[in-house]
Structure 1
Amino acid sequence: MTQRVMVAYATKYGSTAEIAEVVAATLRNEGIDAEAAPASKVTDIGPYSAVILGSALYMGRWLRDARRFVRRHQRALRERAVWVFSSGPLDPSASERDIGPVPSAGRAMCRIHAREHVTFGGRLEAGAKGRVARMILEEDRGGDFRDFDAITTWATATAAEIKALREGS
C-alpha cells in the first residue's frame, strides 16, 4: 500500500510554500506519494496516512491558517503521524541551533500529538507588503535565511520515519 502524505502550509509571502514544496518533492524522491497544499485549501485529510504542517512565523506566532487547520482537523490529525515545522527567523539562528516551537505552535502540537517540530530560517525580500515587513527591510534585516540542505535532510529523515511506520503496521 502506498503511503500518502499531505504537506499543508500557511505562508504570508511564499517562503513557507517553497519550503513545503521542497519537503513534498523530497518525500516523493524517497518513494512516498506526497503533495503540498495551502492549509486553508485542505478540506479532507482522510486519504492521507501522515501529515506535515508548516507555518511561517509572523510577529512570534504561527499564521492563522495553520492554527485553523489544526482546529478544523484535530480529531483526524490525532489519528495520524504528524510532523510540524516553522519558518521565519530572519537571521542564521535556525541553522546554528535548534529553535523550539513558538507558543502557538507548541499548543497545536499538544492538541494533535505531533511527533516533532523543527524551525527553518525564513525569507523576507524587497517588495514585501505590510508595515512590519517594511520596518524590517528598512532596518536591513531582510534576506533569505532558508537552508535548503537542512530542509532536505530533515525531509529525508522524516521520510524514513514514515516508511518505518508503514513497515511496522
Structure 2
Amino acid sequence: MSRTVLVAYGTRNGSTAEIARVIASVLRDSGLETDVRPAAEVGDVAPYDAVVLGGALYTGRWHRDASRFTRQHRQALAERPVWLFSSGPLDPSASERDLPPVPGARRAQRRTQAREHVTFGGRLEAGARGRIARMILEQGRGGDYRDMDRISAWATEIADGLAVGAQRP
C-alpha cells in the first residue's frame, strides 16, 4: 500500500514552492503519493501518512503560513512523521554547514515533534515582492543559492525513512 505525503509550504516569491515541488518529485519517484499545496490552503492533514512542511525565511522569521499551519494542525501532526525545512539565506552558508532553525521554525519543530529540520539556501531575483526584498536586490545581494542536489538528497532520506517505517510490523 502506498503512503501519501503532504508537502506544504509558505512562500512569498515562489522559491520555497519550487523547493517543495522538487521534494515531492523525489518522493513520487520513490513510489510515494504526494500532494503539494500552500500551507494556507490545507484544511486537514488526516488523509496524509506523513508531512513535509517548508517555510521561507524573511528577516529571520519563518513564513507565517507555515507557523500557522503547525499551530492549527498541532495534534494531527504529532501523530505522523513530520519533516521541516526553511529556505532563505542569500549566501552559500546553507550549503556549507548546518544552520540552526530560526525561532519560529524551532517552535514548529517542538510543536510537531518533527523528525528533522534543515535550512536550504534561498532565491531572490528581480521582480520579487516586498520593500525589503527590493532593498536587498538594489544592494546587489540577490541571486539563487538553492542547492537542488542537497534538496533532492534530503528528500531521498525522507523517502527511505518512510519505506523503513512502512516495513515495521
Structure 2 length-normalised TM: 0.98
Which residue number in structure 2 is paired with residue 131 of structure 1?
131
Which residue number in structure 1 is paired with residue 39 of structure 2?
39
> What is the Cα deviation at residue 127 of structure 1?
1.2
Rounded to whole Å, the distance in 2 between the matches of 1:95 and 1:113 is 25
> What is the Cα deviation at residue 129 of structure 1?
2.1
Q: Which amino acid aligns with 1:155?
A: A
Rounded to whole Å, the distance in 1 between the matches of 2:25 and 2:129 is 29
Q: Does the CA contact (< 8 Å) of 2:12 and 2:129 recur in 1?
A: no
Which SS does the other structure have where 2:91 is aligned? Answer: coil
Which residue number in structure 2 is paired with residue 73 of structure 1?
73
Q: Which amino acid aligns with 1:5?
A: V
> What is the Cα deviation at residue 79 of structure 1?
0.2
Which residue number in structure 2 is paired with residue 26 of structure 1?
26
Which residue number in structure 2 is paired with residue 146 of structure 1?
146
Which SS does the other structure have where 1:43 is aligned? Answer: coil
Rounded to whole Å, the distance in 2 between the matches of 1:4 and 1:130 is 35
Rounded to whole Å, the distance in 1 between the matches of 2:128 and 2:16 is 14
Rounded to whole Å, the distance in 1 between the matches of 2:129 and 2:106 is 28
Q: Number of matched residues?
A: 169
Structure 1 gap segments, 5+ residues each: none
Which residue number in structure 2 is paired with residue 57 of structure 1?
57
Rounded to whole Å, the distance in 1 between the matches of 2:70 and 2:127 is 31
Cα deviation digits, residues 8-44 of structure 1 (max 9, x gap): 1000100000000000000000011112100000111
Rounded to whole Å, the distance in 2 between the matches of 1:34 and 1:128 is 28
Moved over 3 A (4+): none
Which SS does the other structure have where 2:101 is aligned? Answer: coil
Structure 2 gap segments, 5+ residues each: none
Which residue number in structure 1 is paired with residue 84 of structure 2?
84
Which SS does the other structure have where 1:34 is aligned? Answer: strand
> What is the aligned-residue RMSD (CA, Å)?
0.7
Rounded to whole Å, the distance in 2 between the matches of 1:106 and 1:130 is 25
Rounded to whole Å, the distance in 2 between the matches of 1:167 and 1:99 is 32
> What is the Cα deviation at residue 92 of structure 1?
0.6
Rounded to whole Å, the distance in 2 between the matches of 1:113 and 1:150 is 23
Q: Which amino acid aligns with 1:162?
A: L
> What is the Cα deviation at residue 135 of structure 1?
1.1
> What is the Cα deviation at residue 52 of structure 1?
0.3
Rounded to whole Å, the distance in 2 between the matches of 1:34 and 1:165 is 17
Q: Which amino acid aligns with 2:28?
A: R
Rounded to whole Å, the distance in 1 between the matches of 2:76 and 2:108 is 14
* Aligned sequence identity (%): 61
Rounded to whole Å, the distance in 2 between the matches of 1:150 and 1:129 is 27
Cα deviation digits, residues 67-103 of structure 1 (max 9, x gap): 1100110000000000000000000111110011101
> What is the Cα deviation at residue 112 of structure 1?
1.0
